[in-house]
Amino acid sequence: MVRLTFGHSTQRQCSDQLSLEQAQADNHSAEYSQLSEQLQAYAEGVAVDFADTTLDLRTMTPFRLRATKACRNVLYGQTISYAELARRAGSPQAARAAGNVMSKNPIAIIVPCHRIIGSANSLGGFSAPDGIRMKRRLLDMEAGERVFT
């Protein structure tokens, strides 16, 4: 897994976003089918653990890799601050850098950057389509609130 995109209004917007990345994927693999089912369950409000999803993290800097791994350990329905993420990544003074890593996360949901919030419980940012509103909807869904009618 190199890239995941969601929240687009049209299939064309989704395709355009994915074409920005030149990664090639075998869409017929068993792993892809399992991931597709897991993402569907997640979208329906099921607490899914994506820990076994294989990610290609080889191009990440050491800090980005540590922050990404620390983010993957934040469980469904939980949130932590950017400062706490930096601490868990081994760099307690690097909250802004942790936020920067999350803002460039190409695998949202699998790397649940929406669970990382500001230290005063502000939402911070979110780079997916619909931005902060999407982040709020994901957090509300994980908290057990109905977000789609």
Of 126 and 77, the structure prediction assigns the larger pLDDT to: 77
Of 34 and 92, the structure prediction assigns the larger pLDDT to: 92
pLDDT in the model for residue 30: 74
Q: How confident is the model over 41-53, as pLDDT tens digits?
A: 999 999 999 988 9
Of 120 and 92, the structure prediction assigns the larger pLDDT to: 92
pLDDT at 29 over 50: yes
The half-sphere exposure of 99 on its side-chain side, counting CA atoms within 13 A, is: 15
Nearest to 98 by CA among 117, 79, 122: 117
pLDDT in the model for residue 59: 92
Of 13 and 97, the structure prediction assigns the larger pLDDT to: 97
- Asked if 71 is an active-site residue, the reply is no
Determine the Cα–Cα distance for residues 36 and 92; give it in Å rounded to an integer.
35
Task: Give the active site residue among 98, 113, 116, 117.
Answer: 113
- The H-or-E segment that residue 133 falls in is helix 131-142
Is residue 53 within 8 Å of residue 112, measured between CB atoms?
Answer: no
Q: Which own/partner pairs from 81-87 qualify as long-range (CB within 8 Å, at least 24 positions apart)?
A: 81/116, 81/117, 81/118, 81/119, 82/116, 82/117, 82/118, 82/119, 82/124, 83/119, 85/116
At residue 9 the predicted structure's pLDDT band, cuts being 50, 70 and 90, is low
User: Buried b vs exposed e over 91-110: b needs ≥16 C-beta within 10 Å?
Assistant: beebbebbbebbeebbbbbb
* Mean pLDDT of all residues in 101-129: 91
pTM here is: 0.80
Q: What percent of the chain has pLDDT over 70?
A: 79
Please calculate the CA angle 31-77-111 and round it to the nearest 5 degrees. 40
CATH code reported for the domain at 11-142:
1.10.10.10
Domain range summary for the chain, segments of one domain joined by +: 11-142
